[in-house]
Structure 1
Amino acid sequence: MARLHRHTRHFIARTPLALAIALAFTQAQAQQATAPVETQLAPVVVQGRAAPSASVSGWGDVPLSLTPMQASVFGTEQAKDRGAQRLSELAGFDAAISDAYNTEGYWDYLTVRGFVIDNRFNYRRDGLPINAETSIALDNKAQIEVLKGTSGMQAGTSAPGGLVNFVVKRPTDAPLRRASLEWRETGSVTGAVDLSQRFGDGEAFGVRVNAAAAHLDPKVRDASGSRHLLAVAGDWRIGPDTLLEAEIETSHRSQPSVPGFSLLGNSVPAPVDPRINLNNQAWSQPVVLDGTTASLRWQRKLAGGWKFVAHAATQQLTSNDRIAFPFGLDCNETSSFTGDFYCDRFGPDGRFDLYDFRSENERRRSDALDLNLSGKLHTGAVEHAVSAGILSSRVKNRFGRQTFAFSGTGNVDGSITDLPANPAPNDFNTNRDERSTELSLRDAMRFDERSTLWLGLRHTRLQRASERNDPSDPRATDYAQSFTTPFAAASHAWAPGQLVYASWGRGVESDVAPNRARYANAGETFTQTSRQIEFGLRGGTDAVEWNAALFDIRRPRLGDFGSCDIDASCVRRPDGEQRHRGLEAGASLSLDAWTLRAGAQWLRARVQGSSDPAVDGKQPTNVPARTLKLQADHRLAALPGLTLQGAFVAESHRQVLPDNSAQIPGWARVDLGARLDTRWAGSAVTWRAGVDNVADRRAWRESPYQFGHAYLFPLAPRTFRVSVQADL
Structure 2
Amino acid sequence: MSVLPFRHKLIVLAVACALSPAAFAQQADSSDNVLPTVVVTSAPADGIARNAAIGGFSEAPLRETPASISVVTHEQMQERSIRTATDAVKYDASVQNSYNAVGLSDWFAIRGFTLDMGSNYRKDGMVILAHSAIPMENKERFEILKGLAGLQAGVASSGGILNYVTKRPTDEPLRSATFEVRERGTVYGAVDLGGRTEDKRFGYRINAAAEDIKSYVHGSDGNRRFVSGAFDWRLSPRALLSIDMDYQHKSQLTVPGFQLLGDDHVIPTGVSGKTMLNNQSWSLPVTDDTNNLGIKFEYELNDNWRTTLQANRFELRRDDAVALASGCPATNAPVGYCANGDFGLYDLRRDNDKRTVTTAQALLQGRFATGGVRHDLTTGISTLSRRDNFAEYLFTPADGPGNIWSGVQRGVTLLPTEPVALRRKDEERSVFVQDVLTLNEQFKLHAGVRYTEVDRVQFDASGTEIRNTDKGFVLPNVALVYSPRADLSLYATYAQGLEPGGEVPAGNPNAESVLDPNKSKQVEIGIKTDLTPDISVAAALFQIKRDNEYLNPTGMYVVAGKQVHRGLELSAQGRATRNLLMGASFTALQAKMEGTGDANVEGKRVGNVPRFKSAVFADYTLPQLPALGLNATWIYSSSKVFAPNSEIAALNKRVDGYHVLNLGARYRTKFGDTATTLRFGVDNVFDKFYWGDAANAFGGYLIPGAPRVFRLSAQFDF
TM-score (norm 1): 0.88
Match of 2:4 in 1: none
Using the alignment, how far apart are the partners of 1:401 and 1:358 within structure 2? 9
Q: How does 1:297-446 map to 2 (within 5 A)?
A: 297-330=296-329, 338=330, 340=331, 342-407=333-398, 408-425=400-417, 431-446=423-438
Who is 1:14 aligned against? none
Aligned to 1:677: 668
CA displacement, residues 242-268 of structure 1 (integer Å, 9 cap, x when unaligned)? 111111101100000000012222212
Contact 1:402/1:428 (CA < 8 Å) preserved in 2? Answer: no
When the two chains are superposed, the root-mean-square deviation of aligned CA atoms in Å is: 2.3
Q: Secondary structure at the match of 2:156?
A: coil
> Is it true that 1:487 corresponds to 2:477 in the alignment?
yes
Residue of structure 2 in register with 1:125 after alignment: 123
Q: How many residues align?
A: 669
In structure 2, the partner of 1:79 is: 77
Consecutive unaligned residues of structure 1, counting only runs of 5 or more, are 1-37, 331-337, 565-569
| Aligned counterpart for 1:239 among listed residues 231, 236, 239 | 236
Aligned to 1:255: 252
Task: Quote the residue 1:661 is aligned against.
Answer: 652
Which whole-Å deviations, capped at 9, do the CAs of 1:100-129 have from their partners, x for residues lacking one?
111211011011011111111111111111
Matched to 1:324, the amino acid is A
Q: Retained in 2: the 8 A contact 1:118–1:158?
A: yes
Distance 1:258 1:508, change over 3 A: same
Does the 8 Å CA contact 2:112/2:159 hold for their aligned counterparts? yes
For residues 637-648 of structure 1, the aligned pairs below 5 Å read 637-648=623-634
Report the CA distance between 1:272 and its aligned residue: 1.5
- Correspondence for 2:698: 707
**Residue 39 of structure 2 contacts residue 171 of structure 2 at CA under 8 Å; is this kept in 1?**
no
Q: Is the 8 A contact 1:51 1:63 kept in 2?
A: no
Provide the rounded CA distance (Å) in 2 between the counterparts of 1:627 and 1:479: 38
- Give, as a single letter, the amino acid of the residue that structure 2 aligns with 1:81: E
Cα gap change, 1:271 to 1:653, in 2 (>3 Å): farther
Query: Whole-Å Cα distance in 2 between the matches of residues 492 and 127 of structure 1?
Result: 27
The structure-2 alpha-carbon separation of the partners of 1:546 and 1:529, relative to structure 1 and needing over 3 Å to count, comes to same
Which has the higher mean CA deviation after the structures are superposed, 666-675 or 493-502? 493-502
Alignment deviations for residues 676-696 of structure 1 (CA, whole Å, 9 cap, x no partner): 222332232111110001111
1:530 aligns with 2:527: no
Distance 1:443 1:482, change over 3 A: same
Q: Tell me if 1:102 matches 2:112.
A: no
Q: Give me the whole-angstrom Cα distance separating, in 2, the residues matched to 1:490 and 1:720.
A: 47
| Equivalent position amino acid for 1:432 in 2 | R
Shift of 1:477: 2.8
Q: Which moved more, 1:209-218 or 1:268-277?
A: 268-277
**Aligned partners of 1:618 and 1:660 also within 8 Å:** no
The SS at the match of 1:303 is: coil
Question: Which residue of the other structure, out of 700, 716, 723, is the alignment partner of 2:706?
Answer: 716
| Alpha-carbon distance in 2 for matches of 1:402, 1:310 | 40
**Paired amino acid for 2:652:** S
Is the CA contact 1:402–1:427 (under 8 Å) kept in the aligned structure 2?
no
Please tell me whether the aligned partners of residues 284 and 323 of structure 1 are also in contact (alpha carbons under 8 angstroms): yes
Indicate the residue corresponding to 2:586 in structure 1.
600
Give the match's secondary structure for 1:456: strand
- Of residues 636-645 and 405-414 in structure 1, the stretch that sits farther from structure 2 once superposed is 405-414
Aligned to 2:526, what secondary structure does the other structure show? strand
Q: Work out the CA distance in 1 between the residues paired with 2:184 and 2:36.
A: 43
CA–CA distance in structure 1, aligned partners of residues 286 and 176 of structure 2: 31
Q: 1:551 aligns with which of 542, 548, 562?
A: 542
Once the 2 structures are TM-superposed, how far is the Cα of residue 510 of structure 1 from its aligned partner? 4.5
Letter in 1 for 2:621: R
Partner of 2:294: 295
Range that drifts further, 277-286 or 494-503: 494-503
Q: Which residue pairs with 2:689 in the alignment?
A: 698
Q: Is the 8 A contact 2:481 2:491 kept in 1?
A: yes
- 1:581 matched to 2:529? The reply is no
Structure 1 residues 153 and 83, CA, compared in 2 at 3 Å: closer, same or farther? same
| 1:651 positional shift | 0.2
Q: Distance in 2 between matches of 1:64 and 1:680?
A: 39
Structure 1 pair 395–495 and aligned structure 2 pair: CA distance change class (3 A): same
1:279 is matched with which residue? 278
Residue pair 1:277, 1:414 contacting (<8 A) in 2 also: no
- State the SS of the aligned residue for 2:142: strand
Residue identity opposite 2:178 in structure 1: S
> Residue 134 of structure 1 is aligned with which of 132, 135, 160?
132
Matches within 5 A, 1:188-227: 188-200=186-198, 202-227=199-224
Which amino acid is the alignment partner of residue 67 of structure 2?
M
In structure 2, which of residues 155, 160, 178 is the aligned counterpart of residue 180 of structure 1?
A: 178
Question: For 1:161 and 1:475, how far apart are their aligned partners in 2?
Answer: 30
- CA deviation profile, 1:140-169 (whole Å, cap 9, x unmatched): 111111100011011121110110111111
Q: Which residue of 1 aligns with 2:15?
A: none
Q: Which amino acid aligns with 1:691?
A: V
Relative distance call for 1:697 and 1:374 in structure 2 (3 A) is same
Equivalent residue of 1:79, what SS? helix
Tell me which amino acid in the other structure corresponds to 2:396: A
Q: Tell me the distance in 2 between the aligned counterparts of 1:560 and 1:142.
A: 40
Q: Is the 8 A contact 1:374 1:386 kept in 2?
A: yes
Cα distance per residue 1:539-595 (max 9 Å; x no partner): 00213211111010111124677968xxxxx8x764101100011001124212111
Q: Report the CA distance between 1:177 and its aligned residue.
A: 0.6
State the alpha-carbon separation in 2 of the partners of residues 270 and 622 from structure 1: 18
* Contact kept in structure 1, 2:584 and 2:616, CA below 8 Å: yes
Conserved? CA contact 2:291–2:316, under 8 Å = yes
SS at match of 1:553: strand
Whole-angstrom CA distance in 2 between matches of 1:562 and 1:621: 16
Give distance in 2, aligned partners of 1:184 and 1:324: 26
Paired AA for residue 441 in structure 1: V
Which secondary structure does the structure 1 equivalent of 2:88 belong to?
helix
C-alpha separation in 2, matches of 1:97 and 1:406: 36
Residue in 2 that maps onto 1:476: 466
Could you say what secondary structure the match of 1:77 adopts?
helix
Who is 1:40 aligned against?
37
Distance 2:344 2:50 in 1: 50
Q: CA deviation at 1:229?
A: 0.5
The answer to whether the aligner puts 1:463 opposite 2:446 as a matched pair is: no
The answer to whether the Cα contact below 8 Å between 2:40 and 2:168 also exists between their aligned partners in 1 is no
Q: How far apart in 2 are the matches of 1:365 and 1:44? A: 31
Label 1:563 to 1:676 Cα distance change in 2 as closer, same or farther (>3 A). Answer: closer
- Assess if the C-alpha contact under 8 Å between 1:401 and 1:429 holds in 2: no
1:578 to 1:267, Cα distance in 2 relative to 1, 3 A? same
Q: What TM-score do you get using the length of structure 2 for normalisation?
A: 0.89
Question: Hey, what's the Cα distance between the residues in 2 that align with 1:555 and 1:429?
Answer: 32
Q: Which moved more, 1:42-51 or 1:549-558?
A: 42-51
1:468 and 1:67 mapped to 2: Cα distance? 44
What is the aligned counterpart of 2:227 among 226, 230, 234?
Answer: 230
User: What is aligned with 2:599?
Assistant: 613
Residues 406 and 440 of structure 1: CA distance in aligned 2, closer, same or farther (over 3 Å): same
Is the CA contact (8 Å cut-off) linking 1:253 and 1:290 kept in structure 2?
Answer: yes
Instruction: Give the letter for the 2:626 counterpart.
Output: P
Residues 138 and 207 of structure 2 are in contact (CA less than 8 Å); yes or no, is this contact kept in structure 1?
yes
- Give, in whole Å, the separation in 2 of the partners of 1:74 and 1:417: 43
- Deviation track 1:426-471 (CA, whole Å, cap 9, x = no partner) reads 7987611111111110111011222100011111111111112225
Tell me, in whole angstroms, the C-alpha distance in 2 between the residues paired with 1:586 and 1:414: 44
Contact 1:358/1:423 (8 A) holds in 2: no
**1:192 corresponds to which letter in structure 2?**
A
Cα shift readout 1:223-253 (whole Å, capped 9, x = no counterpart): 1110011101111112222111111101100
Per-residue CA distance 1:392-448 (angstroms, 9 max, x = gap): 111111113430222231100241123324434479876111111111101110112
1:101/1:551 CA distance change after superposition, 3 Å:
same
